[in-house]
């Protein structure tokens, strides 16, 4: 295209190639990306910048905003932690053991990706309600799950599970069994082999899965609002507070909360990329 | 070694007690499988089963009546319409972006891939909010659009835009690694034999990527039909007009009309199950899709 006559040593956008269509496909991709994603997000950031520091901090100073952000990040953290533990166990039994129904379970792990969040939300709210199948099991201990922050954690565990399993599973499949045999011949018992030999190698994948589940959990809306009870200061998540501010036509409030959440999401994205780059250097796989 | 143990055991008459030292004891195995199954039952299987149980709680008659109700029918139609517009848009984008990224070496490629992934890490509510800020009555564009009588928010175009935003990366994400693996050799051969660019794409590239493409479209479609948060922010919840199936589920549920809510939800759950089944078949037969968990 434009650079076919470029002299070597000169700056060029792309390496020469006989394959056509670079200008057209890249041009279309960039235009579409800008129209759908970049311009709308820039609009949000521009709108938020026009609030000024004082406008921004007055939204942040509101305890309801602080509590909503704390609840969103806190429940997402706990849920991602639960997923990191059980996700690794699920990945382990799928990779290492043969048992009836293994294939089915392997396919079902992706259910939270495919099931619409509103469907998951009403199903979990009904199950974990005091009179539901699972909720009623905990009522003798006076433990309410639905309509409390515990309910939010339940919904986020559901949403985040495939992130951990699908990140850890391929790395587990590539583990060289000889490493474990070497550890065993050197006198390590099975527990030592797992905690000292296998887990360190799996750690980057587990961390990536944890971060992905956490990032998804912070922004999750559909599955949470049905089970949370949505009590301000107690079980009201940040995305819901954005919706409430919008319904009050409080665009400044909605924009400020959204900007904070965006900044934190971008930081998470950066952290995930750093973990993967570090793990590629250290272990040769991402 | 193993042979010896079997021989001695055969003589003594006891079952062999050889255990691979690089594997867990049977008791530990059983405990791990049990823990995983209990966890999955509470968080995965029971929620899925309960959707269908609640939907049929008052019998098949009530179930079918809930689906035949005019608002439910219009929600189903709107959901199909939105998916029919947004999935092809993202399909064309996915093909174009994957062609540019996988077939060429250029500066800023990694950054472009990060930008394409962006919608995955943004809350659906924020995906809707950005369009409200862009097209709402308080925005720059809002009054201008209004003077021409163009409705975007609280109408079908807004719902389509929000859906396109959240399903943006699915097809591209699936195709980029696949086309990078396949390299450019086939295309270069076709071109040097005199094929045009379009012929090369149509007869060489497309057959090579068709299963991966189908896989990406399936995931994109499932998300497009099921999106809730983003669509909820831009739709305005006008019954019979701007309610998609997930929004209709919410309204019915909040009206304590549980059977009808779960009946509509069961259709969406069925869609999810069909998607998973097709996905599994594609993976088993064609090795399509990488299991790297970014969706």
Residue A163 structure tokens: 């992130």
What distance in Å separates residue A248's CA from the closest CA in chain B? Answer: 13
Cβ–Cβ gap B54/A123 under 8 Å: yes
Is A44 in contact with A255 (CB distance < 8 Å)? yes
Distance CA B78, CA B169 (A): 23
Q: Tell me, rounded to whole angstroms, the distance of Cα B42 from its chain centroid.
A: 23
Element (H or E) spanning A93, and its range? helix A63-96
Point out the residue among A20, A116, A268 whose CB comes nearest to the CB of B246.
A116
Residue B12 has a pLDDT of 54
Give the gyration radius of chain A's Cα atoms.
24
Place of tokens 């921004």: A56
Encode chain B (295 residues) as per-residue pLDDT tens digits.
Answer: 444 555 554 455 566 666 777 788 888 999 999 999 999 999 999 999 999 999 999 999 999 999 999 999 999 999 999 999 999 999 999 999 999 999 999 999 988 998 998 898 899 999 999 999 999 877 878 888 888 888 888 899 999 999 999 999 999 999 999 999 998 999 999 999 999 999 999 999 999 999 999 999 999 999 999 999 999 999 877 777 789 999 999 999 999 999 999 999 999 999 999 999 999 998 888 765 544 434 4
The structural domains of chain A, with segments of one domain joined by +, span 1-52, 62-283
Is A115 in contact with B226 (CB distance < 8 Å)? yes
Residue B292 has a pLDDT of 40
The 10s digit of each residue's pLDDT in B189-226 is 999 999 999 999 999 999 999 999 999 999 999 999 99
Q: Hey, how many other C-beta atoms are within 10 angstroms of the C-beta on B78?
A: 22
- Residue B84's contacts (CB-CB under 8 Å, 6 or more residues apart) are none
Give the gyration radius of chain B's Cα atoms.
26
Is B266 in contact with B273 (CB distance < 8 Å)? no
Distances (CA, A) of A99 to A180, B34, B36: 22, 11, 12
Task: Tell me how long chain A is.
Answer: 286
For residue B41, the chain A residues in CB contact (below 8 A) are none
Point out the residue among B123, B225, B294 whose CB comes nearest to the CB of A212.
B294
What distance in Å separates residue A188's CA from the closest CA in chain B? Answer: 9
Nearest chain A residue to B98 by CA distance is: A25
- Residue A2's contacts (CB-CB under 8 Å, 6 or more residues apart) are A13, A23
Cβ–Cβ gap B115/A38 under 8 Å: yes
Nearest chain B residue to A251 by CA distance is: B133
Residue A79 structure tokens: 């849920």
What distance in Å separates residue A54's CA from the closest CA in chain B? Answer: 20
Q: Hey, how many other C-beta atoms are within 10 angstroms of the C-beta on A128?
A: 27
A-interface mutation test, from B22, B114, B237, B244, most A Cβ less than 10 A away: B22
Which domains occur in chain B, in start order?
A: 1-55 (no CATH), 58-286 (1.10.3720.10)
How many Cα neighbours within 13 Å face the side chain of B287? 2
A-interface mutation test, from B47, B162, B271, most A Cβ less than 10 A away: B47
Cβ–Cβ gap A99/B33 under 8 Å: yes
List, for chain A, all residue ranges whose pLDDT scores fall below the cut of 70: 1-9, 284-286
Distance CA B75, CA B245 (A): 5
Collapse the DSSP code of B291 into the 3-class scheme (helix H, G, I; strand E, B; otherwise coil) and give the result.
coil
Q: Hey, how many other C-beta atoms are within 10 angstroms of the C-beta on B17?
A: 7
Cβ–Cβ gap B136/A105 under 8 Å: no
For residue B261, the chain A residues in CB contact (below 8 A) are 122
Q: Hey, how many other C-beta atoms are within 10 angstroms of the C-beta on B5?
A: 12
How many Cα neighbours within 13 Å face the side chain of A45? 8
Residue A5 has a pLDDT of 47
Residue A157 has a pLDDT of 97
For domain A62-283, give the fold.
MetI-like fold (1.10.3720)
Point out the residue among B50, B133, B245 whose CB comes nearest to the CB of A251.
B133
Could you report how far apart the first and last alpha carbons of chain B are, in Å? 48
B170-182 vs B109-117: helix crossing angle, rounded to 10: 150
For residue B219, the chain A residues in CB contact (below 8 A) are 113-114
Q: Tell me, rounded to whole angstroms, the distance of Cα B172 from its chain centroid.
A: 13
For residue B227, the chain A residues in CB contact (below 8 A) are 116
Cβ–Cβ gap B121/A26 under 8 Å: no
Beta bridge partners of A210: none
A141 DSSP 8-state letter: G
Question: pTM, whole model, 2 decimals?
Answer: 0.89
B122 DSSP 8-state letter: S
What is the DSSP annotation of B24-72? --HHHHHHHHHHHHHHHIIIIIHHHHHHHHHHTTTHHHHHHHHHHSHHH
B242 DSSP 8-state letter: T
Q: Hey, how many other C-beta atoms are within 10 angstroms of the C-beta on B222?
A: 26
Cβ–Cβ gap A258/B48 under 8 Å: no
Cβ–Cβ gap A36/B293 under 8 Å: no
Beta bridge partners of A14: B106
What is the DSSP annotation of A206-238? HHHHHHHHHHHHHH--HHHHHHH---TTTT--H
Beta-carbon contacts below 8 Å between A and B: 296
Q: What percent of chain B has pLDDT over 90?
A: 72
Distance CA B266, CA B280 (A): 21
């Amino acid at each position: 295209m434009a650079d076919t006559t470029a002299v070597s040593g000169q700056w060029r956008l792309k390496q020469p190639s006989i394959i056509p269509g670079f200008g057209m496909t890249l041009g279309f991709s960039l235009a579409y990306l800008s129209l759908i994603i970049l311009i709308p997000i820039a609009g949000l950031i521009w709108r938020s910048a026009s609030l000024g520091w004082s406008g921004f901090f007055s939204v942040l100073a509101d305890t309801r905003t602080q509590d909503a952000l704390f609840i969103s990040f806190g429940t997402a953290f706990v849920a991602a932690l639960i997923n990191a533990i059980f996700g690794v166990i699920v990945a382990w039994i799928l990779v290492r053991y043969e048992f009836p129904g293994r294939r089915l379970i392997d396919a079902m792990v992706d259910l939270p990706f495919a099931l619409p969040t509103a469907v998951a939300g009403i199903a979990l709210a009904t199950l974990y309600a005091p009179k539901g199948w699972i909720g009623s099991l905990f009522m003798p201990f006076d433990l309410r799950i639905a309509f409390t922050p515990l309910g939010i954690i339940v919904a986020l565990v559901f949403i985040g599970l495939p992130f951990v399993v699908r990140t850890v599973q391929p790395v587990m499949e590539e583990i060289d069994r000889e490493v474990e045999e070497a550890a065993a011949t050197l006198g390590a018992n099975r527990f030592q082999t797992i905690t000292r030999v296998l887990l360190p190698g799996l750690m980057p994948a587990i961390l990536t899965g944890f971060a992905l589940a956490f990032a998804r959990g912070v922004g999750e809306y559909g599955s949470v609002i049905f089970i949370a009870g949505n009590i301000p200061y107690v079980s009201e998540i940040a995305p819901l507070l954005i919706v409430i501010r919008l319904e009050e036509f409080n665009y400044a409030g909605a924009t400020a909360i959204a900007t904070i959440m965006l900044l934190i999401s971008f930081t998470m994205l950066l952290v995930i990329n750093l973990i993967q780059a570090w793990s590629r250097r250290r272990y040769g796989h991402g | 070694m193993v042979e010896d143990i079997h021989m001695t055991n055969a003589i003594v008459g006891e079952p062999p007690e050889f255990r691979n030292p690089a594997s867990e004891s049977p008791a530990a195995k059983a405990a791990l499988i049990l823990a995983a199954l209990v966890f999955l039952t509470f968080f995965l299987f029971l929620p899925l089963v309960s959707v269908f149980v609640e939907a049929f709680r008052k019998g098949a008659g009530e179930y079918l009546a809930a689906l035949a109700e005019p608002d439910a029918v219009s929600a189903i139609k709107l959901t199909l319409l939105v998916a029919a517009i947004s999935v092809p848009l993202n399909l064309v984008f996915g093909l174009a972006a994957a062609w540019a990224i996988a077939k060429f070496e250029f500066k800023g490629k990694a950054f472009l891939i990060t930008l394409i992934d962006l919608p995955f890490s943004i809350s659906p509510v924020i995906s809707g909010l950005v369009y409200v800020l862009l097209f709402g009555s308080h925005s720059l564009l809002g009054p201008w659009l209004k003077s021409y009588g163009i409705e975007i928010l609280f109408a079908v175009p807004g719902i389509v835009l929000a859906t396109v935003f959240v399903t943006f990366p699915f097809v591209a994400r699936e195709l980029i690694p696949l086309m990078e693996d396949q390299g450019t050799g086939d295309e270069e051969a076709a071109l040097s034999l005199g094929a045009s660019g379009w012929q090369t794409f149509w007869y060489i590239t497309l057959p090579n990527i068709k299963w991966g493409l189908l896989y990406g479209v399936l995931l994109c479609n499932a998300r497009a039909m099921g999106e809730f948060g983003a669509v909820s922010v831009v739709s305005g919840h006008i019954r019979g007009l701007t309610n998609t199936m997930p929004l209709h589920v919410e309204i019915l549920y909040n009206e304590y009309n549980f059977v009808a809510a779960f009946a509509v939800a069961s259709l969406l759950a069925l869609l999810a199950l069909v998607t998973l089944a097709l996905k599994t078949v594609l993976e088993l037969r064609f090795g399509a899709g990488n299991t790297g968990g970014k969706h």
